[in-house]
Amino acid sequence: MGYGLSNGTPTVTSMIRDSYRVFEGFEKIVENHGFKKSCFLMGRSLGSLSAIQLAYSYQNHVRGLIVESGPANNLRQYVASIVPSEHPIWRDDYIFLNKVKLRSIFKPTLIIHGERDSLISVDEERELYENSAAKDKRLVIIPHADHGDLFIIGKEQYYNAIQKFVDDYR
């Protein structure tokens, strides 16, 4: 709701809720057309919230999870001035946080981030990596890359990491 030409107001809640509908629709298309079920979830930046939520909810439906430039703490630094200090978002065990959900996701996980990301600190990716429960978890830091130019600055490293990850679990 509220994205593109749809009506409504975009919120994180509606984005995540809508991601369930998209995923379930995608699964029906795959099934109806007889395609091989080897789905990987990938979320970039804010989209990582939806990808991680879906991986958390549908682990048995996916081969792996790819997170690009995703926050561990769901951008709570940006709401510090408007969210009361007693709100659960400030607890490190709050299930809303990406890092907390990753503690329960056992699917292979690839995390990619720019070394010089000016929006989400590279420390957040390290925190995601450390909190991942996956036996195979990979962290790829693209040297000199910022938030939106990883696949340009580190084109070869970026695409090779994704290709190898997918090939390993296809």
Residue 92: Cβ-neighbour burial (10 angstroms; 0-12, 13-18, 19+): exposed
Cα–Cα distances (Å) from 107 to 18, 123, 134, 154, in that order, read 22, 22, 5, 25
The two structure tokens encoding residue 89 = 């978002």
What is the per-residue pLDDT for 121? Answer: 92
Residue type, 31: E
- Given a contact cutoff of 8 angstroms between Cβ atoms, the answer to whether 141 and 113 are in contact is yes
What is the per-residue pLDDT for 93? Answer: 82
Query: What is the residue extent of each domain of the chain?
Result: 36-169
CATH number (3.40.50.2000, 3.40.50.10140, 3.30.470.20, 3.40.50.1820) of 36-169 reads: 3.40.50.1820
pTM of the model: 0.89
Q: How far apart are CA 15 and CA 38, in angstroms?
A: 24
What is the per-residue pLDDT for 118? Answer: 94
pLDDT string in tens for the chain (170-residue length): 555 666 777 787 888 889 999 999 999 998 888 887 779 999 999 999 999 999 999 999 999 999 999 999 877 776 767 777 787 777 778 788 899 999 999 999 999 999 999 999 999 999 999 999 999 999 999 999 999 999 999 999 999 999 999 999 98
